[in-house]
Amino acid sequence: MSRRVIPGLEAPDPALERQIRGRLDEVEVALEKAVRADSDLLAETSTYLLSAGGKRFRPMLVLLAGHFGDHTDPRLIAGSVAIELVHLATLYHDDVIDEADSRRGIPSVNARWDNTVAILTGDYLFARASEIATELGADICALLARTIATLCDGQIREVEVAGKLDQTEGAYTEIIRRKTGALIATSCRLGGMLSDAPPEFLDVLEEFGEALGMAFQLSDDIMDVTATQRELGKEPGVDMREGVYTLPVLHALHRGGRREELARLLGSGPPAGERLDRALEIVRAEESLEHARRAVALEVKRATELALRLPDNAARGALVALAGFLAARCGAGRS
């Protein structure tokens, strides 16, 4: 199994970066053990996406948040594993919902095997995460259960509005708050809880994580419209092609100068081919990208202000740097 190192995600403090990398290596080993299964097929499918690599962004946040308590507490490794398993489970299920052909540069599980295998593998990963959480204590188990429920709520809201042109920006924001913001918020709170950080820091860490998660998703939404296939590792416009109309698309659709043309392009269903190319051209040329960048900048500002309420240490500097990275990657630092 391998973890992808993304330039810009390193901690500014070299000693902290070395320490976090070492702990993430421990997480990799623990992840491999956590997904072992008796069935040969399940053993193969449950390790499939792990072997393809990943940023391990959420485990990294668990470990960074642990620096506001006892960062050597061994429970932080188990908590990091549980969070990553939940994230992976959602990817298996998302690919079925989206009928995705690939994930992380390889065929998706549903494409290589079938939907049933993908769903059951995702269920298995949720169960393993829950088992680990139970071993960490009732409060951790309850936090993870609430988070999984919130993720499911966000996903079903997305399914409900897929392909609909009358979706509001507020409704979309609430979906990503539940789908992306919730798990990243829990990652930060979990790190504080497992390291026995002072109680007054837990809410701050959770609120920071939500703001960071919102910035993370909104930044991804912009990249899906603007980045090249080489930068993304996939074709641009995937969200629009799947009927997921993100913030820049919704702004162009409801307030853009060419909203009527965009509505015609999307009116017969999620676009593909020339319709998709033209729709992307409209969104890229509109003020809608700047609107989305301003939304990222606001969440980054909120995350930074929250981080500055935490004790002044290397981990706080790393959290602030992460927020800045999300702004820079999509051009929001200029907004």
Q: What are phi and psi of 106, to 5 degrees?
A: -130, 160
Q: Domains for the chain: give ranges and CATH numbers.
A: 14-329 (1.10.600.10)
For the segment 68-99, what is each residue's pLDDT rounded down to a tens digit?
Answer: 999 999 999 999 999 999 999 998 888 888 77
pLDDT of residue 108: 78
Task: Inform me whether the pLDDT recorded for 284 exceeds 80.
Answer: yes
Which two three-digit tokens encode residue 84?
């990553």
pLDDT of residue 335: 47
Task: Inform me whether the pLDDT recorded for 1 exceeds 50.
Answer: no
Separation of alpha carbons 203 and 209, rounded Å: 10
Q: Which has the minimum average pLDDT: 91-95, 127-131, 311-315? A: 91-95
3-state secondary structure at position 333: helix
Task: Inform me whether the pLDDT recorded for 9 exceeds 70.
Answer: yes
Using pLDDT thresholds of 50, 70 and 90, give the confidence band for residue 3: low
pLDDT of residue 45: 87
CB 323 within 8 A of CB 304: yes
* Mean pLDDT, rounded, of the chain: 90
For the segment 144-155, what is each residue's pLDDT rounded down to a tens digit?
Answer: 999 999 999 999
Separation of alpha carbons 298 and 218, rounded Å: 11
Percent residues over pLDDT 70 in the chain: 93
pLDDT of residue 270: 87
For the segment 229-281, what is each residue's pLDDT rounded down to a tens digit?
Answer: 555 555 678 889 889 999 999 999 999 999 999 999 999 888 989 999 999 99
Whole-prediction pTM: 0.92
Task: Inform me whether the pLDDT recorded for 43 exceeds 50.
Answer: yes
Separation of alpha carbons 334 and 256, rounded Å: 21
CB 27 within 8 A of CB 80: yes
